[in-house]
A = this chain, B = another copy of it.
């Protein structure tokens, strides 16, 4: 018999299909996808080809050589751009629209064409998440930006055909309904319980311990109770802070290490699966509220999202988060030489 679990951060049900559940190692690719070469002459993100992309809006250099380690620039095919107004147009009571004013940037994560996040040093990952935070701060200051979404698509089924490691940042002139809902759910929890939802969630997971993958002084990595997909992973700070914008360097460096470890385990344990990751952070203007907490969610693309998910919003998870968390925890222990 399967079980439906309610995600306390969205109030959405998830089917945990225990009868159809596959064992964690069944989700690994049969053979590792070969990594590309370290340099690809035709790749617009490789060093030497900078002229093929827009001018950098930010870059982080190797202190020894002075050459860039992380480079940020405007997407050449942007979903939203700097022109236009946030003034809504209401052509009809059922037709409300606004210009696509905002920013859409690419974060090239490494000069090396094959240096995936999970294979980097902690310091290299720190440069990437520092770019996330700094661009969040800069883009949030633009008068037309209401939400910044930071995400990564890795592999064709996750929505990219470009091998070169990169993330994207989209700053929209609206707070997405999806985000406002999560913020509202957290706010209601605070109003009712007097505590931050994400702190309570960590406390619950740390009591049960069965879905905790790894702990660091400031972060906890879990496979959540109501995981929507096999191996869905959240990295949540112990001290809630609504936005990534205010995270100091020391904490961000620690986060980079936890994230790198997690992605390395995906790479080794599941043979380099396609995945998305998303940095959840508060809407612009709601950064100081005690209700929400920024966090990272990793969604490996191991099963299809089909008609039932589209039509009901209920995901069918064919794995048990308790089992996948244990699988990853054992890999983490092995890594640590325990």
Contacts and interface: CB of A to CB of B under 8 A. Distances in A.
B99 A176 contact: no
A101 B3 CA distance: 8
A31 interface: no
> In the complex this chain forms, how many copies of it are found?
2
10 contacts: A2-B78, A2-B79, A2-B99, A4-B98, A20-B78, A79-B316, A92-B204, A151-B311, A159-B307, A172-B314
Nearest to A14: B97
B20 A79 contact: yes
Nearest to A91: B208
A46 interface: no
A312 B94 contact: no
A172 to B, nearest CB: 7
Interface string A91-105: 011111111110000
Interface in A134-162: 147, 149-153, 156-160
B307 A99 contact: no
A280 B310 CA distance: 11
A3 B310 contact: no
Given A4-B172, A13-B174, A276-B310, 18 more contacts: A2-B80, A2-B100, A5-B96, A12-B176, A15-B79, A19-B77, A79-B308, A92-B207, A93-B193, A95-B225, A149-B308, A151-B307, A151-B310, A156-B304, A159-B304, A168-B308, A177-B313, A305-B305
